[in-house]
Every structure is written in structure tokens, then in C-alpha cells.
């Protein structure tokens, strides 16, 4: 799964630490999400979408493996 989290966070002028505090997660979690090393739980995905007032689909892009 890809995401636009870093792009959206940067447009808001937020650091990873700022976003982590707002969501009650670690900065490492935000970094891992942005680098594609971690897929969020559905609860965290909803929390992020709600925080930015955006649909989940505008932040997280599911790419189905059709092979």
C-alpha cells in the first residue's frame, strides 16, 4: 500500500513529531508509515483521515497485486 502521508503532512507544515503527538503514536510509527515499511491498522488509518479531514482513499492508496 502506498500513501501520501508525508506530502499531506508537509503541506500542513507539520513535523513527524507534531503528527505523532496529535495521533498519540510514536514518531517512528509516522516515519515507518511514510517510508512504506508499515501499513496502518484500520483504526489508525481512520484516525489519520479524520485528523486531516480527508477520505482514507485520498491518503492511502491500495494497489492490488493482480499476478
H helical segments located in 1-67: 5-11, 16-23, 27-34, 42-52, 56-59
The vertex-54 CA angle with 64 and 28, nearest 5°, equals 70
pTM: 0.89
| Structural domains for the chain | 2-52 (1.10.260.40)
Strand pairing partners for 2?
61
Measured distance CA(32)–CA(40) in Å, rounded: 10
Q: How confident is the model at residue 29 (pLDDT cuts 50, 70, 90)?
A: very high
Q: What is the mean pLDDT of residues 56-63?
A: 92
Arithmetic mean of pLDDT over the chain:
95
Amino acid at each position: 500500500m502506498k500513501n501520501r502521508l508525508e506530502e499531506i503532512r508537509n503541506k500542513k507544515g507539520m513535523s513527524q513529531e507534531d503528527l505523532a503527538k496529535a495521533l498519540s503514536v510514536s514518531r517512528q510509527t509516522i516515519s515507518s508509515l511514510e517510508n512504506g515499511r508499515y501499513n496502518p491498522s484500520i483504526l489508525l488509518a481512520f484516525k489519520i483521515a479524520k485528523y486531516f479531514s480527508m477520505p482514507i482513499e485520498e491518503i492511502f492508496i491500495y494497489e492490488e497485486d493482480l499476478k
